[in-house]
Structure 1
Amino acid sequence: MKQRVQTVLLHVVLVVLGVITLLPFGWMAVSAFKPNTEIVGVDQSFLPKEWTFENFTSIQENFAFFRLFANSVGLSLAITAIAVYTSLIGGFVFAKYEFRGKSQVFALVLSTMMIPWAVVIIPRYTMFADAGLKDSYASIVIPAAISAFGIFMMRQSMDNIPDEILEAARIDGASELYIFHRIVAPLSGNAISALAIFQFLWVWEDYLWPYLMLTDESKQVLAVGLTTFQGRYTTDYGGLFAATTIAIVPVLIVYVVFQRRFVAGAASAAVKG
């Protein structure tokens, strides 16, 4: 009886926290259907008093929303695919191969996660600018192509794959590339799903680096483009809320697609079996 009461209380607390977490997103989504006069008005209400779709129909008129949206989707998908693949390779090497200095190299990889972003942003900007990569997508893709967090996550997950399976495949004449692509990668599906969600979110919401590197407006990403709704004296809150609501859709799609394996993948990377 006591355990049942504790379970009910835990669920109640989680539901309350969930509502508190989702409330700002819900308010933003409903406010996207309000006129600006109602959004900035003193008399506020959660649901619109006057429903309007003008905020959604006018976002393309205010700025090239769909082009920036497509830029963000393309970059996020490309970087996520590259980072997941390189993390798979790195995790496979550190988990299933033995070589001199392995622990030291892995510690060096992990140490890169301890360096604050603010420390490396100026040297990184200078390096890419001197290399002539400013205002190119290469300057966005290359820094995110290899993820220390991803390598760590994949390594922890692949430690749970029995070595006997790999040895049996080698005895049968399978190459290392075959073992990697046909055995190790499919068995790491949960970790791949978890990392894909994390990586997609990081790229999708990144603002500062694209803002610094991309000067051509036609190449810019959506996170930077959303700032155009804010003028010097006024802000088009209705358009901003409408654009942000649409911008959340890809994130929701990615989560829905991978959510079944997300928890299992995060757990397998955190607990070494």
Structure 2
Amino acid sequence: MTRLSVFLTTFIALGAVIMVAPFVWLVIATTHTTGEIFSTPPHLLPGTAFWDNLSGLFTENRFGDAIRNSVVVSATSTVLGVFICSAAGYAFAKFDFPGRTLIFGVILASMTLPSQVTLVPLFQIMVSAGWLNSYPALILPNLAVPFGIFLMRQAMQGVPDELLQAARIDGAGEARVFFQVVLPVMRPALSALAIFLFLGQWNDFVYPLTVLRTADAYTVPVALASLQGVSSTDYGQLLTGTFLSVVPVLILFLFLQRQFVAGLLAGSVKQ
């Protein structure tokens, strides 16, 4: 190996250690009590308090309800969001209709708006609809995501028009072309979009905090925030809940990592 190769390998390995170290510490901290977590010198080996932390988290703080709510909301938003964004991306990429450029420009412009700008209008809409503290309040505003439409439009442009025309000549309707021809070849992009939508919904904190009113409706981020007391905080339970909140995202990414990388490159190279 050349000196440059040795340097690059060492640099990458060091970077990997720096990135993984906080997660390793999080796993170790879930097995200790609050006093042990803040002890000096710090504990670098697993302790024996994991099951106590886990029991307190689920029995005293109803963290199971939060996980259920987050799974239902994130999974539903992801499935419906992928369908809506892919359908919109297909329309913008493959159909020529009046105002297409203007509408797509408005969608791109909306990506520049901070989420805080739409927080009050969304809250007023949910109050008027009577959806506060419910699943629809969390799911519906996150279905037509501007970034998702943009990503799918760019990916759909890579689908050959000849393939679509051949399917139409064979008698396939537009719905069949979309579901049986376009979507199968868009799996990498769909996987990438699914990860983005799931992660965004799973980690969302400010909006759920605004529209949720009772502890049994909390999502995971809101439930974790509620574990921080005014005078004292059980950091053993807090870090255990944080660890549990990371696991579903890791599983999803590991399951879709190949498609995720391929999806990010979709549409980056023109034929």
CA offset digits 1:131-190 (Å, max 9, x no partner): 322122111111101111011101111111110000001111100000000010011000
When normalised by structure 1's length, the TM-score is: 0.94
Residue 49 of structure 2 aligns with which residue? 52
The offset of 1:102, in angstroms, is: 1.2
Residues 214 and 102 of structure 1: CA distance in aligned 2, closer, same or farther (over 3 Å): same
User: For 1:115, what is the secondary structure of its paired residue?
Assistant: coil
CA contact (8 A) 2:111 2:147 kept: yes
CA contact (8 A) 2:191 2:256 kept: yes
Residue 133 of structure 1 aligns with which residue? 131
The offset of 1:7, in angstroms, is: 4.7
User: For 1:225, what is the secondary structure of its paired residue?
Assistant: helix
When normalised by structure 2's length, the TM-score is: 0.94
Task: Find the aligned partners of 2:220 and 2:117 in 1 and give their Cα distance.
Answer: 25
| Between 138-147 and 127-136, the greater mean CA deviation after superposition | 127-136
Residues 70 and 157 of structure 1: CA distance in aligned 2, closer, same or farther (over 3 Å): same
Task: Find the aligned partners of 1:143 and 1:151 in 2 and give their Cα distance.
Answer: 14
Residue 188 of structure 1 aligns with which residue? 186
Residue 145 of structure 1 aligns with which residue? 143
Residues 8 and 44 of structure 1: CA distance in aligned 2, closer, same or farther (over 3 Å): same
| Structure 2 unpaired stretches of 5+ | none
Q: CA RMSD in A?
A: 1.6
Residues 85 and 224 of structure 1: CA distance in aligned 2, closer, same or farther (over 3 Å): same
- What is the number of equivalent residue pairs in this alignment? 270
The offset of 1:227, in angstroms, is: 2.0
| Equivalent in 29, 37, 40 of residue 39 of structure 1 | 37
User: For 2:230, what is the secondary structure of its paired residue?
Assistant: coil
The offset of 1:10, in angstroms, is: 3.3
Task: Find the aligned partners of 2:6 and 2:90 in 1 and give their Cα distance.
Answer: 42
| Equivalent in 111, 114, 117 of residue 119 of structure 1 | 117
Task: Find the aligned partners of 1:87 and 1:10 in 2 and give their Cα distance.
Answer: 40
Residue 24 of structure 2 aligns with which residue? 26
Identity %, equivalent residues? 36
The residue identity in structure 2 corresponding to 1:79 is S
Task: Find the aligned partners of 2:83 and 2:223 in 1 and give their Cα distance.
Answer: 29
| Equivalent in 12, 15, 19 of residue 14 of structure 1 | 12
CA contact (8 A) 1:194 1:265 kept: yes
Task: Find the aligned partners of 1:268 and 1:14 in 2 and give their Cα distance.
Answer: 26
The residue identity in structure 2 corresponding to 1:52 is A
Task: Find the aligned partners of 2:215 and 2:110 in 1 and give their Cα distance.
Answer: 32
CA contact (8 A) 1:160 1:272 kept: yes
Residue 234 of structure 1 aligns with which residue? 232
Task: Find the aligned partners of 2:257 and 2:227 in 1 and give their Cα distance.
Answer: 32
Task: Find the aligned partners of 1:187 and 1:213 in 2 and give their Cα distance.
Answer: 38
Residue 258 of structure 1 aligns with which residue? 256
Task: Find the aligned partners of 2:88 and 2:159 in 1 and give their Cα distance.
Answer: 15
Task: Find the aligned partners of 2:187 and 2:13 in 1 and give their Cα distance.
Answer: 29
CA contact (8 A) 1:156 1:272 kept: no
The offset of 1:43, in angstroms, is: 2.2
Residue 201 of structure 1 aligns with which residue? 199
Residue 268 of structure 1 aligns with which residue? 266
